[in-house]
Amino acid sequence: MKLSTFLAVKAVISLVFAIAFVLTPATYLSWGGVTLDAAGTYMARFMGVGLLGIGLVCWFLRSAADSEARRGILLGLFIADTVGFIVSLLGQLSGLWNVLGWINVVIWLLLALGLGYFRFLKPSTS
């Protein structure tokens, strides 16, 4: 897979989750057995805004020519997705989510691994 294709996939995933978190966070999270109060709904919407930004950055980064900037952004996304994997795994292991929570764990893991691959093992790919 090419980096541009991977970034497009990450962008679409981020944008789909962004829409869910911004528009219907309580409904989306209820599928995983998570309930939100008003403050939780508010914070989930902010998470959606963050995912919107990440999705757009990934979308526009697909065709970026500046390889040094791309490497820096990939490193930042790799670190964030690795932490996202750890947080989602801890949430899953604590019983916060039902079995559907494993989907989030797997998504975060695959995105972190993909970013790590393109950042550290195949950095010259466009």
Please write the tens of the pLDDT for every residue from 79-115: 999 999 999 999 999 999 999 999 999 999 999 999 9
Please write down the HEC assignment for all residues of 109-123: HHHHHHHHHHHHHCC
Query: What pLDDT is attached to residue 125?
Result: 46
Report residue 123's pLDDT band, with 50, 70 and 90 as the boundaries.
low
pTM of the model: 0.90
pLDDT tens per residue across span 17-42: 999 999 999 999 999 999 999 999 99
**Cβ pair 29, 59 in contact under 8 A:** no
The 3-state DSSP class for residue 20 equals helix
**Cβ pair 63, 115 in contact under 8 A:** no
